[in-house]
Structure 1
Amino acid sequence: MISSIQQHRNRNLDLLRILSMFMIVLLHSQTFGIFHYGLPSGIQLFTVYLFRNLAIVASNCYVLISGYFLIKKGFKRKKIAYFAFEVSFYSAFIYLMIVLFTPLTFSIQDFFHWIFVLFWGNYWFATLYLVLYLLSPFLNLFLNQLTQKQFQQVLIGSIAIFSLWATFSHLPILGMNEGYSISTFLLLYTLGAYFQLYQLPFKWKSGWYLFHYFNIAVGLTVYFFLIDYKDWMIDYHSPFVLLASILLFLFFKETHFKKTWGNKIIPFIFGIYLIHEHPLIRTLLWEEWIPIHQIIQQPLMNLILLGLSTLIFIVCLLLSFPLHKLSKRIFEILLTKLN
């Protein structure tokens, strides 16, 4: 029975990974698309803010899921080695394809830059995730030695410092970097681990988690629309985004979907990020291929952006199928030769 419940939760969280990746694409359609041409007004601006506040939890949910699973699964050298290889493979392969099909000139220096892309932070999430995974054995060792009360004290202290204090004080010495920091990832990992190891002191119907998640997004949207837009309120480590991320995570964790198909495409989902967020693809996508300046003039701009994000998601997923399989095959060959 316990195994069955765990499998349900695993499949549910696979769906959250897929939704989070779509949210990431939607966020990028705003950040690198319409925001470069100025914000709309009226109901379109309200909808832009609402979509952004709903989607801003995406990266946080990914890390929560990692903490939830890795606290029990532990560190696997082969997995982290493949993660680094896959990022490098996608990055270098995309560079070569762009050199082949655009006027960009090949440079050996650029080629090595894209091979070792994790060192330069072009994929900020991948770089931080690599660091988090490398730290996870030591973090697990520490967390597994704590009693539940001690674990709660660690969480309360961490949230007080790295979320509440860091958000409202804006102190750069805390090193949060708008949430793009290893401190944010460690906090999220610890929260995910807690949800794996311990039961919550209360039990809501799963729909309430979703209801309050929407409430936070709508509340922030109304504030931005009627009073003032504050970037810091939707930094990844802010208490508003942190709480919304937890609520969405708990909704998927506690909901029992009858059937899920997400596990079949999960191996290819991360490739969507690696393809559309490659700096060279990003430039082509939002500055040449997609007529953003025309889209923002349309009365149905936000619906068009939703459709556009869906199209980018699907195309990158289809491209990820062969790229993932090829990278996996090359990695196994290299591993065999090294052994």
Structure 2
Amino acid sequence: MRSSNIELLRIVSMVLIVMFHFSVHGSWPAEGPLASDIAVECLSFGGKLGVNCFVLITGYFMVSGRLRLASLLRVVLETWFYSFALLGIFLIADPTLVTEEKLRRALTPIASGEYWFVTCYLALMVASPSLNVLYRHLSPAGRSRLAAAGFVAISLLPTLTTFNPIGNDLVWFFYLYLIGGWLREQRDGARPQCVLDPTRIVGHWGAERTFAGCVLVVWASMAAIGWARRELGFDFVGPDYLIWQYMVPTFFAAIGLFRIFAAWEMPCSPWVNMLAKTALGVYLIHDNPIVRAWLWPHLAWVYPLGPAAIIAFGLGSALAVFALGSLIDYGRIALLERPFFRWLERSWGPQMQKAGAWLADIGQPGARPS
């Protein structure tokens, strides 16, 4: 049975991601009022926070589980469906938005990285059995040291120096996946031992205080850097410097937010669980490159209304995009995905079971290639 508290975190994370896209893809003036620019920047903070939470959730459940062929296939087919369907719609409705580059990426959405998150996420899923082997062979002390070493190498040092020689999205996903598993172990009683283990630091500060403090730090930095750029010509880093997924405040905020939801004893909610299933579909619809080139410029009129209106409308539009995208994706699940997988089970059940067993055996103790 799905844990509705964690499923609710999926929904919250996707709403934060939509707010991020409202901020970074909007058609905002280059030199508008400082307060309005800061409001736009503040809405961008949750995007990479939401991405981090999605990967932490994956590790939380999968590090002690098994990769399932059906899960992998669902993500691939859903990505193809929305990429091809949205391409077809815009080729009919507004072909001027379909550039040659967007056409190429839409026809090969996974290989081309049309959706960077999906490309990295699928690579993470394929690598998960090997990551699970690594995780199982570490003692609790070893997991704490790995968490600390990764934190220093690909979060703390890049935050302090702006230089990240070994970090990229996939490496970061691997690290977050293992951290998600480590958070699960701590729920079951394990205790981090290394002083620089980020889960220990967040545990010491408290999840709520960590999350609130990190949000305030990032927002304050946006205001300070935005002011310094205008008044002093400061250009060493941009106002959005601390929002990226591996930056310490965003990383700690994600751990704090995850721990808040993981500790919440929420009763099972079929509605929450159903909406959470559509979260990936919401992402694939609204962050399709053709859709975002059409969608966000239509909302530029909100900027002259001032910072309060920008923040309120950013949140409202994120909720509206999630609601509409969720409704569309629920229809896809009911009309296409469920009938297809029932047919697949009837027609190719033995072959699917064999392939699933092969995937399940990868990384299991004593497994040998057949």
TM-score range for the pair, normalised by the shorter chain length: 0.7 to 0.9
SS at match of 1:72: coil
What corresponds to 1:3 in structure 2? none
- CA distance, structure 2, for counterparts of residue 253 and residue 333 of structure 1: 36
Q: Aligned ranges for residues 121-136 of structure 1 at < 5 Å?
A: 121-136=113-128
- Identity of matched residues, %: 22
- CA distance, structure 1, for counterparts of residue 37 and residue 144 of structure 2: 40
> Does residue 298 of the first structure (1) align with residue 305 of the second (2)?
yes
- CA distance, structure 2, for counterparts of residue 108 and residue 337 of structure 1: 38
What corresponds to 2:71 in structure 1? 79
- Cα deviation per residue 1:251-282 (whole Å; 9 max; x = unaligned)? 00012235643112222221000000111111
Q: Aligned ranges for residues 159-308 of structure 1 at < 5 Å?
A: 159-171=151-163, 173-176=165-168, 181-198=169-186, 199=189, 201=191, 208-227=206-225, 228=228, 229-258=238-267, 260=269, 261-287=271-297, 290-292=298-300, 294-299=301-306, 300-308=309-317
- CA distance, structure 2, for counterparts of residue 101 and residue 42 of structure 1: 37
Identify which range, 45-54 or 312-321, moves more after superposition: 45-54
Structure 1 gaps of 5+ residues are: 1-6
**Deviation, structure 1 residue 211:** 3.3
Conserved 8 A contact 2:202-2:210:
no
Change (3 A) 1:296 1:192: same
Structure 2 gaps of 5+ residues are: 192-199, 229-237, 352-370
Q: Aligned ranges for residues 46-57 of structure 1 at < 5 Å?
A: 46-57=38-49
**Deviation, structure 1 residue 59:** 0.4
- CA distance, structure 2, for counterparts of residue 170 and residue 224 of structure 1: 16
Identify which range, 85-94 or 51-60, moves more after superposition: 51-60
Conserved 8 A contact 1:166-1:174:
no
**Aligned letter for 1:295?**
V
Aligned residues: 323
**Aligned letter for 2:279?**
I
Change (3 A) 1:266 1:85: same
**Deviation, structure 1 residue 75:** 1.0
Conserved 8 A contact 1:89-1:327:
no
Change (3 A) 1:110 1:183: closer
Change (3 A) 1:230 1:104: closer
SS at match of 1:37: coil
What corresponds to 2:362 in structure 1? none
SS at match of 1:80: helix
Change (3 A) 1:214 1:268: same
**Deviation, structure 1 residue 314:** 1.3
SS at match of 2:120: helix
Task: Give the CA RMSD over aligned residues.
Answer: 3.0
- CA distance, structure 2, for counterparts of residue 326 and residue 256 of structure 1: 33
Change (3 A) 1:204 1:231: closer
- CA distance, structure 2, for counterparts of residue 26 and residue 104 of structure 1: 26
- CA distance, structure 2, for counterparts of residue 134 and residue 95 of structure 1: 27
What corresponds to 2:50 in structure 1? 58
Identify which range, 328-337 or 167-176, moves more after superposition: 328-337
Q: Aligned ranges for residues 91-110 of structure 1 at < 5 Å?
A: 91-103=83-95
TM-score normalized with structure 2 length:
0.78
**Deviation, structure 1 residue 175:** 3.9
Selected match of 1:117 from 100, 109, 112: 109
SS at match of 1:117: coil
- CA distance, structure 2, for counterparts of residue 320 and residue 252 of structure 1: 25
**Deviation, structure 1 residue 125:** 0.4
Change (3 A) 1:335 1:107: farther
Change (3 A) 1:258 1:104: same
SS at match of 2:304: coil
**Deviation, structure 1 residue 102:** 2.8
Conserved 8 A contact 1:269-1:317:
yes
**Deviation, structure 1 residue 113:** 4.5
